[in-house]
Amino acid sequence: MKDRDFRWVSINERLAHDLGIRPEEVVGKVDADLFPPELAAKYHADDISVMDTGKTEEFVERYSQEGVGTWISTIKAPVRNTDGEIVGLLGVSWDITDRKRAEEALLESEARSRSLFECAPDALIVVGTDGRIEAVNEAAVTRYGYSREEFLAMGVNQLAAPDLESLAAVRVKEALEGGTSFEWRHRRKDGSEIHVEIRANRFDFAGQPSLLASVRDITERRQSEKERAKLEEQLRASQRMEAIGSLAGGVAHDFNNLLSVILGYTSFAIEGMPEGDPVRNDLLEVKKAGERASAVTRQLLAFGRRQVLQPVPLDLNQVSEGVEKMLRRILGEDITLVQTLAPDLWRTLADPGQIEQVLVNLVVNARDAMREGGRLTIETSNVEIGEEDAARQVGVKPGSYVRLAVTDTGCGMDQQTRERIFEPFFTTKELGKGTGLGLSTAYGIVKQSGGNIWVYSEPGLGTTFKVYLPREFPAPAAPATVLATVPTQATGTETILVTEDEEALQNVARRTLEAAGYTVLVARDGDDALRISSLHAGDIHLLLTDMVMPGMGGRMLARILSGRRPSTRVLYMSGYADDAIVHHGALEAGTHFLAKPFTSADLRCKVREVLDAGVPDVRDRYAPATGTGAEPTESTLDREALRALPGDLLDRLLKAVTAARYDELVELVETVRRTDPDLATSLRRMADGFDYDGMRNLLRE
């Protein structure tokens, strides 16, 4: 208590204890007698304020002693007599340190929560029970493009994609009843849509029940999942096509031997019958059917990548221009043909005849899709496929490609048709209007040429086929293969050793060649051929051998026989290209080959052609690079160049050599050829000679 002159009248025991005096000692004293000057001045000013206003006031102060802070709340009230006159004042103080600390902790917690709310990487949106947006963080502002003011004027339904807007209220209700998590589509201020993952839970905001929604943008994840699903589908489609191709190629291979026998014996029968004989006419029809079946097997081999190609550096512009007249006849007058050919087009390594077939098949397919007429565009261009683009397609390697695009304005295709368009015998045409082998043939030729073919189409919007063939970089030119002119009379008197494990086909070859005047020796396999050769005293002018036989194959037979009989020419025959004389279906320079099925006339002409072509150096081609047991010379194999190869490539070469995997080894050698053609040629020679020990020793150095 203080009197009107601000002198102390009395204090309680607690305050006396705090001041360190007895209660009676304060009577008559003023604040300056009890407190430091600054504090005494403040207390006196507070007292004056209460006395002047006549109102009760609260004063909060913080004291610090020895590092410990104490908060005191003091309420000062005027004291009045019975007449209402102010005669003094009463002060009551409380220690409110705990309360102040709790308030500070609450403020700190709120600040921390606010900081976490604002700094969260995901968009955070507070939604009221009525669906109105009550608060957002900075991530929401950045992600959606709305300002905070715009957000606060919106309902959460306005963030949903248009087709989901009506369902937003249902989601809010679900979250209020117990929390929810779901994927959704939202729209940003610019109208673009994003895929989001939302986790919403109930909580109190400003004393009212609300929802806190954490919104994570998963657009990239969904896109990645979509691309992964696309790659998986591509892989399944690729595996399906591989399986179908293997089956088709195998069937065609076995069928080729049968067709060769059918065509051969049919020719024998026809030759022995006079003109006008009804049976002769029947046999001619059989022969025609066999030839049509032969065409089908060739198409199957093309799809299964089992045909023999003769690739050369090729300009696709020249191919397209060369067949333009024929294409215009195919298309007719109702379809306009436009060619847009790149003037600086790169070259590719491909078989000209096969690429022409690809182009013709695509044009025929386009024509059939434009029954009412339209426009067909053929376009060529140079394309670089990067790592990222290649990763989106199964089996595609990054690099430089030449692109051939064929676009029509026809009826287009739906997804189900697009997925099966390259399968053999699949067709959307009427019965009898197509075999379903045109596009599958194109697919096989492109794949066997090291390229890719894709189709882009929608119903009613036309179709585009895009063919990508690897760019052929300049390299030392290989000796050109010159085909001899087919003689008018394919006969002769030379001695020919026929090696074929199929007895029926063996008999066809023997009869055909003997009828043409040749002396024919017949062997059932490689070992039998070497035995017959050792017993035959005269010359053997030609070895006609199948490639795939039990035991010793045709390649090894040619190598051994050529070592013993250097003047003997070699003609291989086979039903498909999965043999050692070809690499990825490409025929090696200087190699003579007769594809099955063949007619008697085909065989006579090819034999005569090979006999007249001169003797190839078969021993050099098939002998090991270290044939004498000596180390390869620097001209044969550049050791420095070998050591300059990437370490992983050397490791893969060594593994392939150690496991004697010829096909894998040849593929790796062709990888070397891109950077060092001379080194690749030397390595290929050693591989072709099966000199695995020599290669292994060199690679380990």
* Per-residue confidence (pLDDT) for residue 660, from 0 to 100: 61
The structure tokens 């049509």 sit at: 292
* Per-residue confidence (pLDDT) for residue 630, from 0 to 100: 35
Report how far residue 305's alpha carbon sits from residue 250's, in angstroms, rounded to the nearest whole number.
11
The structure tokens 């950077």 sit at: 675
| CA proximity to 688, closest of 615, 581, 564 | 581
3-state secondary structure of 129: coil
Residue 245 has pLDDT above 50, yes or no: yes
Report how far residue 651's alpha carbon sits from residue 671's, in angstroms, rounded to the nearest whole number.
14
What average pLDDT does this structure show over 358-379? 88
Residue 615 has pLDDT above 80, yes or no: no
Torsion of CA 10, 14, 15, 18, to 10 degrees: 150
The pair of structure tokens assigned to 289 is 């059917």
Q: Sign (positive/negative) of CA torsion 594, 598, 603, 605?
A: negative
Three-state SS across 201-223? EEEEECCEEEEEEEEEECHHHHH
The structure tokens 């040849």 sit at: 666
Q: Is 146 exposed, middle or buried (0-12, 13-18, 19+ CB in 10 A)?
A: buried
Instruction: Pick the range with the lowest mean pLDDT from 278-282, 375-379, 386-390, 648-652.
Output: 386-390
Three-state SS across 297-326? HHHHHHHCCCCCECCEEECHHHHHHHCHHH
* Per-residue confidence (pLDDT) for residue 541, from 0 to 100: 94
The beta strands (E) that lie in 139-188 are given as 180-187
Torsion of CA 43, 49, 50, 52, to 10 degrees: 140
Q: Residue 681: phi, psi to the nearest 5?
A: -60, -40
Band the pLDDT of 539: cuts 50, 70, 90.
Answer: very high
* Per-residue confidence (pLDDT) for residue 481, from 0 to 100: 37
* Per-residue confidence (pLDDT) for residue 614, from 0 to 100: 59
* Contact predicate 94/73, CB 8 Å: yes
Of residues 614 and 32, more confidently modeled: 32
Band the pLDDT of 617: cuts 50, 70, 90.
Answer: very low
Percentage with pLDDT > 90 across the chain: 19
* Per-residue confidence (pLDDT) for residue 498, from 0 to 100: 94
The pair of structure tokens assigned to 601 is 């006339």
Segment of 230-239, 537-546, 620-629, 630-639 carrying the highest mean pLDDT: 537-546
pLDDT, tens digit, 9 for 90 and up, residues 2-19:
999 999 999 998 888 888
* Per-residue confidence (pLDDT) for residue 430, from 0 to 100: 56
Segment of 356-365, 383-392, 579-588, 692-701 carrying the highest mean pLDDT: 356-365
* Per-residue confidence (pLDDT) for residue 451, from 0 to 100: 86
* Per-residue confidence (pLDDT) for residue 580, from 0 to 100: 42
Report the chain's mean pLDDT, rounded to a whole number: 79
What average pLDDT does this structure show over 460-464? 88
* Per-residue confidence (pLDDT) for residue 689, from 0 to 100: 54
* Per-residue confidence (pLDDT) for residue 581, from 0 to 100: 46
The H-or-E segment that residue 656 falls in is helix 647-658
Of residues 484 and 65, more confidently modeled: 65
* Per-residue confidence (pLDDT) for residue 307, from 0 to 100: 56
Q: Measured in Å, how far apart are the chain's first and last C-alpha atoms?
A: 106
Q: Which residues pair with 463 in a beta bridge?
A: 408, 457
* Per-residue confidence (pLDDT) for residue 461, from 0 to 100: 86
Of residues 621 and 300, more confidently modeled: 300
Band the pLDDT of 620: cuts 50, 70, 90.
Answer: very low
Residues comprising the chain, all counted: 701
* Per-residue confidence (pLDDT) for residue 544, from 0 to 100: 94
* Per-residue confidence (pLDDT) for residue 628, from 0 to 100: 34
Burial 530-545 (b: 16+ CB within 10 A, else e): bebbeeeeeebbbbbb
Residue 598 has pLDDT above 50, yes or no: yes
Segment of 120-124, 284-288, 511-515, 573-577 carrying the highest mean pLDDT: 511-515
Residue 537 has pLDDT above 50, yes or no: yes
Report how far residue 358's alpha carbon sits from residue 451's, in angstroms, rounded to the nearest whole number.
12
Segment of 23-32, 247-256, 429-438, 444-453 carrying the highest mean pLDDT: 23-32
How far, in Å, are 11, 19, 60, 143, 460 from residue 35 at the CA level? 15, 9, 17, 60, 97
* Per-residue confidence (pLDDT) for residue 583, from 0 to 100: 45
Burial 587-623 (b: 16+ CB within 10 A, else e): beebbbbbbbbbbbebbbbbbbbbbebeebebeebbb
The two beta strands, 569-574 and 593-595, are: parallel
Report how far residue 329's alpha carbon sits from residue 249's, in angstroms, rounded to the nearest whole number.
33
Report how far residue 397's alpha carbon sits from residue 391's, in angstroms, rounded to the nearest whole number.
8
Residue 623 has pLDDT above 50, yes or no: no
Give the chain's domains with CATH numbers: 2-95 (3.30.450.20), 120-217 (3.30.450.20), 312-470 (3.30.565.10), 639-700 (no CATH)
Q: Which residues pair with 203 in a beta bridge?
A: 210
What's the longest Cα–Cα distance across the chain?
A: 159
pTM of the model: 0.41
* DSSP state letters, 237-252: HHHHHHHHHHHHHHHH
Residue 633 has pLDDT above 50, yes or no: no
Q: Is 316 exposed, middle or buried (0-12, 13-18, 19+ CB in 10 A)?
A: buried
pLDDT, tens digit, 9 for 90 and up, residues 402-452:
999 999 998 888 888 887 787 766 666 654 454 556 687 788 788 878 888
Report how far residue 606's alpha carbon sits from residue 600's, in angstroms, rounded to the nearest whole number.
10
| CA proximity to 368, closest of 331, 336, 414, 418 | 331
What average pLDDT does this structure show over 568-586? 62
Residue 51 has pLDDT above 70, yes or no: yes
pLDDT, tens digit, 9 for 90 and up, residues 124-178:
888 888 889 888 888 899 889 999 899 999 988 899 888 888 888 888 888 887 7
| CA proximity to 255, closest of 585, 505, 597 | 597
Centroid of chain to Cα 493: 58
pLDDT, tens digit, 9 for 90 and up, residues 478-487:
443 333 334 4
The pair of structure tokens assigned to 273 is 């019958």
Of residues 700 and 275, more confidently modeled: 275
Instruction: Pick the range with the lowest mean pLDDT from 101-105, 389-393, 418-422.
Output: 389-393
The H-or-E segment that residue 196 falls in is strand 193-205
